[in-house]
Amino acid sequence: MISAGEFRNGVTFELDGNVFQIVEFQHVKPGKGAAFVRTKLKNVITGGVVEKTFRPTEKMPKAHIERKDYEYLYSDGDLYYFMDQESYEQMPLNSDQLGDSLKFVKENMVVKVLSYKGKVFGVEPPNFVELTITETEPGFKGDTATGATKPATLETGYVLQVPLFVDEGTVIRVDTRTGEYMERV
């Protein structure tokens, strides 16, 4: 059991038959009345985000999310195949189970497959990945002082903003938590 007074970002717990992960939390002590905890919660199964307030003494059962290393092998239509790093068993997942996280994953990359009570609900790529830019417009000389950016398409199909000096074929590091360009590799 975890009390609302112990909430931290990333903590998972069960509430009303669903599993939630804390995205944001704030302990509020108003001038009048009792203190409370204001939270923004993400349903780990459906992906929906809700805001909810709790009394600091409320208790919820903690939910254990299993994270296991799998290697992404290939896609075949709507199915994506992952291989267990220990038993070498292959597991097909559909796009509904994967969500948006696949936009940073390329073949042969090791990811964490997330499951709750044996039901897979998502894939967690590494925090930083190195991907190649497949399409972008050339930058113009002299435009570098403004800190301007341009759209670029990565090898996975994801489009993000990069500085003007980055060209096609460049390998860049991307922060998968924010989806932003970090640096050239």
Under 8 Å between Cβ of 171 and 134: no
Q: What is the pLDDT of residue 6?
A: 87
Separation CA 8–CA 1 (nearest Å): 14
Considering the domain architecture, whether residues 39 and 77 belong to the same structural domain is answered as: no
140 and 105 co-located in one domain: no
For residue 73, the model assigns a pLDDT of 92
pLDDT tens digits along 136-148? 888 766 655 667 8
Residue span of the structural domain in which 156 resides = 128-184
Tokens 């932003």 belong to 180
pLDDT in tens, 162-171: 988 888 899 9
∠ CA 21-84-79, rounded to 5°: 75
Same domain, 164 and 145: yes
Q: State the average pLDDT for the chain.
A: 87
Domain boundary among 76, 95, 124: 124
Q: How many domains does the chain have?
A: 3
d(Cα 47, Cα 121) in Å, to the nearest integer?
9
- Could you say which of 60, 76, 99 is where a domain stops? 60
- Which CATH number characterizes residue 78's domain? 2.40.50.140
Query: For residues 165 and 90, what is the distance between their CA atoms, to the nearest angstrom?
Result: 41
Per-residue confidence (pLDDT) for residue 143, from 0 to 100: 57
Strand locations in the chain, DSSP E?
A: 2-3, 12-15, 18-28, 36-43, 49-54, 59-60, 66-76, 79-84, 90-94, 110-116, 119-124, 128-136, 149-154, 159-163, 171-175, 180-184
Q: Tell me: do 44 and 72 sit in the same domain.
A: no
Mean pLDDT value of segment 51-75: 90
Tokens of 82: 């992952």
Mean of the pLDDT values across residues 91-96?
84
Q: CATH no. for residue 39? A: 2.30.30.30
